[in-house]
Amino acid sequence: NAGVTQTPKFQVLKTGQSMTLQCAQDMNHEYMSWYRQDPGMGLRLIHYSVGAGITDQGEVPNGYNVSRSTTEDFPLRLLSAAPSQTSVYFCASSTGQGAGQPQHFGDGTRLSIL
């Protein structure tokens, strides 16, 4: 079972560059989310989606864009990378059938902005 797949696992960017973090899930989950993890701050929600074509902002959306053209994919775009976006990024998915269903996480992408 592939589950939630994130690519790349590591990336170094220069300030001002743009890039897309990829996230794909093969469980036919309606819900997908992006979190960032910073030391001492836990995980914070960036953007989320409840289905194809539907996205919304989370707690820390500035500097990031998302789209959800298919159920399987939920890419996260950094438009103009800044050092403050250095972090570990996690994609997660879950079924929409009940809030108690656990979220499945990808293995994360470690992103460094120089």
Partner 1 sequence: AQTVTQSQPEMSVQEAETVTLSCTYDTSESDYYLFWYKQPPSRQMILVIRQEAYKQQNATENRFSVNFQKAAKSFSLKISDSQLGDAAMYFCAYRRGLLYGGATNKLIFGTGTLLAVQP
3-state secondary structure 91-109: EEEECCCCCCCCCEECCCE
Minimum CB separation of residue 31 from partner 1 in Å reads 4
Letters for 72-111 (x = contact with partner 1 by CB under 8 A, - = none) are ----------------x-x-x-x-x-xxx-xx-x-xx---
Cβ proximity to partner 1: between 71 and 94 the closer is 94
CA 19 to chain centre: 13
Q: Which of these segments, 19-27, 35-43, 68-76, 79-87, binds partner 1 (CB under 8 A)?
A: 35-43
Identify the CA nearest to 87 among candidates 24, 13, 33: 13
